[in-house]
């Protein structure tokens, strides 16, 4: 079967002919992969900045954003049947008894770092035609979401952030007064850094909760991303028009920053926009570049005097996957065109070079593997 793999030793990316996987235990499920998303992490793996093959293998089959259809189930599988759509989770637990996170299915909070991530580190991923997976890592998806469910995994990042934002902000009187027809973020202002898929999906999640939402990115409007931002009732601002130190003056103090740009300079500069009792959530993984100067006195004064929180978050648990599946359906009801426009193109596996090594274009590109769908 076709699979897209990196060979770190020879620094090569190839479309390979991999062995068809088969079910080896009664709790396993065989999936035909329908859509596999291409993201920044995949591009970094293909540039050999990130990613590790499984032990004993000279290559790693990449791909972690995926949608599959169940084609075969082991004898003990109960929650899914052949024909069902599923989105697999990415991370697998570490083996250590003392890792309380992994021992209670919260490997997204693994203490040891010895976890595996399918398509990223230590385990083959989903950019291939068939995959075998344990039932417990699969999330069933309604058939109606067939065309957009590839957005579930990148949306889990925002869902895990939102779950934690509510938990952390519960320590203070942060909740909005009840307003009929309005969701619980209606009295808060959010700033999203970056207008890539993670940023735009995060903006949709914030808008769905009625946060006033500003998406802040480099490119000047109008562009395809600013059009999505406007369609969901958010505001697009370019850093070329509004420098980071002007954000609060232009839009008012920010309650939540959802960082989805991976640019540390921009992120730290925009911290000045944070108001009292605010929270800043980092999701990006920047490449290591030259150190940059940060006004640490100002930062620390504000953190203390304004009760601010800075949070880093990675990966996602089942709760975030389930919330993402519900939200993708909700986005489809509210903004069908904008949601569909996030998928810029569906491509044959043979186009992998342009997609993974070429200049990034559009929003979310998807590789179609399905033979039957």
Give the footprint of ligand BGC on this chain (CB under 6 A).
Answer: 39, 41, 64, 90-91, 117, 120, 314-315
Nearer to ligand BGC, 117 or 210 (CB): 117
The residue among 249, 267, 265, 242 whose CA lies nearest residue 257 is 267
82: number of Cβ within 10 Å: 12
Nearer to ligand BGC, 117 or 133 (CB): 117
Radius of gyration of the chain (CA): 21
Nearer to ligand BGC, 41 or 169 (CB): 41
Nearer to ligand BGC, 29 or 320 (CB): 320
Nearer to ligand BGC, 116 or 226 (CB): 116
Residue 316 C-beta: closest distance to ligand BGC, Å: 7
Helix (H) or strand (E) holding 203: helix 197-208
The residue among 309, 315, 271 whose CA lies nearest residue 159 is 315
Nearer to ligand BGC, 194 or 244 (CB): 194
Residue 138 C-beta: closest distance to ligand BGC, Å: 15
Nearer to ligand BGC, 122 or 140 (CB): 122
Q: Give the pairing type, strands 122-123 and 28-38.
A: unpaired
Ranges assigned E (strand) in 321-369: 343-347, 364-368
| Alpha-carbon gap, residue 311 to 349, rounded angstroms | 37
Residue 87 C-beta: closest distance to ligand BGC, Å: 12
Nearer to ligand BGC, 41 or 139 (CB): 41
Residue 285 C-beta: closest distance to ligand BGC, Å: 6
Tell how far CA 294 is from the center of its chain: 27
C-alpha distance from residue 275 to each of 5, 272, 298, 304, 339 (Å)? 45, 8, 13, 12, 31
| Alpha-carbon gap, residue 102 to 111, rounded angstroms | 8
The residue among 306, 252, 316 whose CA lies nearest residue 277 is 306
Residue 184 C-beta: closest distance to ligand BGC, Å: 26
Residue 26 C-beta: closest distance to ligand BGC, Å: 27
Ranges assigned E (strand) in 124-211: 130-134, 138-141, 189-193
Nearer to ligand BGC, 260 or 271 (CB): 260
Residue 233 C-beta: closest distance to ligand BGC, Å: 26
| Alpha-carbon gap, residue 141 to 322, rounded angstroms | 9
Mind giving me the DSSP string for 61-105?
E---EEEEEEEEE-TT--S--TT-EEEE-SEE----TT-HHHHTT
Residue 89 C-beta: closest distance to ligand BGC, Å: 8
Residue 262 C-beta: closest distance to ligand BGC, Å: 10
Counting every residue written for the chain, the total comes to 373
């Amino acid at each position: 079967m076709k699979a897209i793999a990196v060979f770190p030793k020879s620094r090569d990316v190839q479309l390979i002919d991999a062995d068809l996987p088969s079910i080896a235990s009664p709790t396993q499920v065989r999936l035909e992969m329908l859509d596999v998303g291409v993201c920044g992490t995949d591009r970094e793996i293909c540039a050999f900045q990130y990613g590790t093959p499984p032990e004993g293998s000279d290559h790693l089959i990449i791909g972690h954003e995926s949608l599959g259809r169940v084609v075969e189930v082991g004898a003990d599988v109960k929650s899914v049947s052949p024909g069902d759509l599923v989105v697999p989770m990415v991370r697998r637990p570490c083996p250590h008894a003392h890792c309380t996170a992994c021992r209670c299915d919260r490997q997204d909070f693994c203490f040891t770092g010895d976890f595996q991530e399918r398509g990223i580190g230590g385990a083959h991923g989903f950019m291939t035609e068939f995959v075998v997976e344990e039932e417990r890592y699969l999330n069933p998806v309604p058939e109606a979401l067939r065309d957009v469910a590839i957005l579930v995994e990148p949306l889990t990042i925002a869902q895990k952030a939102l779950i934690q934002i509510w938990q952390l902000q519960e320590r203070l009187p942060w909740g909005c007064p009840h307003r009929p027809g309005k969701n619980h973020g209606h009295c808060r202002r959010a700033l999203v850094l970056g207008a890539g898929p993670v940023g735009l999906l995060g903006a949709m999640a914030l808008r769905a909760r009625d946060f006033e939402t500003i998406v802040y990115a480099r490119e000047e409007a109008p562009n395809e991303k600013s059009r999505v931002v406007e369609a969901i009732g958010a505001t697009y601002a370019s850093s070329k028009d509004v420098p980071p130190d002007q954000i609060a003056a232009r839009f008012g103090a920010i309650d939540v920053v959802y960082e989805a740009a991976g640019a540390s300079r921009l992120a730290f500069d925009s911290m000045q926009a944070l108001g009292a009792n605010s929270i800043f959530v980092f999701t990006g993984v920047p490449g290591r570049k030259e150190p940059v100067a940060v006004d640490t006195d100002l930062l620390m004064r504000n953190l203390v005097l304004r009760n601010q929180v800075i949070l880093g978050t990675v990966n996602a648990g089942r709760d975030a996957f389930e919330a993402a599946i519900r939200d993708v359906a909700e986005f489809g009801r509210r903004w069908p065109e904008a949601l569909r426009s996030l998928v810029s193109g569906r491509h044959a596996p043979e186009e992998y070079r342009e997609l993974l090594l070429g200049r990034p274009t559009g929003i979310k590109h998807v590789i179609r593997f399905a033979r039957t769908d």
